[in-house]
Amino acid sequence: MTSSYPASTLGNIYRQAFQAQLKKMGTKFSLLREARKESINSVATAVGLRPEILEQIENGKHDFRFKTFFALCDYYKIEIESIIGQGELLHFTLE
């Protein structure tokens, strides 16, 4: 597939979509933690993160590794799809 968009525009679109996905996933992790009435410190310690990193993840401000993502899903005992959506990692359209 060839695009009529310049590479810089596609890069910006990708970055924006990626940031939106990080925010969405972080919000879901935050809601899970709050529903379980757990502190950032306790969850961070349990999954091997510094509390400030978990806080950044929950706020969508940290581009975390898959290893961390899987550790959080395992900790909360949830399926990956419940965080990223069914069949969706990055879903966006070009207008």
Phi, psi dihedral angles at 55 (to 5 degrees): -60, -40
pTM metric for this prediction: 0.76
pLDDT bin (cut points 50, 70, 90) of residue 94 is very low
Which positions ≥6 away from 78 have C-beta within 8 Å?
32
Between residues 93 and 10, the one the model is more confident about = 10
* CA quadruple 51, 55, 58, 64: dihedral sign: negative
* Chain centroid offset of residue 8 CA: 24
Q: 55-73: per-residue pLDDT in tens?
A: 999 999 987 888 999 999 9
For residues 86 and 17, the answer to whether their CB atoms sit within 8 Å is no
